[in-house]
Amino acid sequence: MGISFLAIILNTNMFLDLKNFKNVNLVAIWSIVIYSLSQAPEVHLNFLNPYQKYKQISNRTSPD
Domain range annotation of the chain = 2-61
Q: Which of 1, 3, 27, 33 has the alpha carbon at shortest distance from 13?
A: 27
Q: Is 27:10 a contact under the CB 8 Å cutoff?
A: yes
Q: What is the per-residue pLDDT across 21-53, written as a single tens digit (0 to 9) for each?
A: 566 677 777 777 777 766 665 555 555 566 666
Average pLDDT rounded to a whole number, residues 4-32? 64
pTM over 0.75: no
pLDDT at 28: 76
